[in-house]
Amino acid sequence: MTARAERIRASDQRPALWRRVLGSEHLAGWAFVTPAVVLIAVFFLIPIGWALLLSFQANNLLAPGHYIGLANYRALAKDPQFRSAIGHTIVYTVVFVPVSIIGALGLAVALDRRIRGISFYRLAVFVPLVTSTVATGIVFLWLLDPTFGVVNYLLHLVGLPQQKFLQDPNQAIYCIVAMTVWGWLGFDVIVFLAALQSIPQDLLEASEIDGAGKWATFRSVVFPLLGPATLFLVVWSTINALQLFDEIYVTTRGGPLGSTTVIVYYLYEQAFQFFNAGYGAAIAYVLFAAILVVTLLQLWIGRRRVYYVS
Torsion of CA 16, 17, 19, 24, to 10 degrees: 140
Residues 122, 110: Cα–Cα separation, whole Å: 10
Q: Is 228 or 255 the residue whose CB approaches another protein more closely?
A: 255
Q: Residue 23 interacts with another protein (CB under 8 A)?
A: yes
- Taking the complex as a whole, the smallest distance from the CB of residue 275 to another protein amounts, in Å, to 5
Least separation in angstroms between residue 307's CB and another protein is 46
Question: Could you say which residues in the range 153-182 bind another protein, by CB under 8 A?
Answer: 166-169
Q: Is 135 a binder of another protein (CB under 8 A)?
A: no
145 binds another protein (CB under 8 A): yes
Instruction: In whole angstroms, give the CA distance from residue 203 to residue 225.
Output: 10
- Residue with smaller CB distance to another protein, 103 or 255: 255
Select from 47-55, 62-70, 119-127, 196-204 the region that touches another protein (CB under 8 A): 62-70
Q: 28 vs 296, which CB is nearer to another protein?
A: 28
- Considering only residues 248 to 267 of the shown chain, the ones binding another protein according to CB under 8 A are 251-258
Cα atoms found within 13 Å of the Cα of residue 50, Cβ hemisphere only: 11
118 part of the interface to another protein, by CB under 8 A: no
Burial of 232 (0-12, 13-18, 19+ CB in 10 A): middle
Segment lying near another protein (by CB under 8 A), choices 25-33, 103-111, 115-123, 285-293 = 25-33
CA–CA gap between residue 55 and residue 67 (Å, rounded): 9
Instruction: Count other C-beta atoms under 10 Å from residue 187's C-beta.
Output: 20
What phi-psi label fits residue 258: left (phi over 0), alpha (psi between -120 and 50 degrees) or beta? left
Q: Hey, is 58 helix, strand or coil? A: strand
**Does 134 contact another protein by CB under 8 A?**
no
Min dist. Cβ of residue 119 to another protein (A)? 35
SS3 67: strand
Site of interaction with another protein (CB under 8 A): 22-23, 27-28, 31, 34, 38, 60-64, 138, 141, 145-148, 166-169, 251-258, 269, 272-275
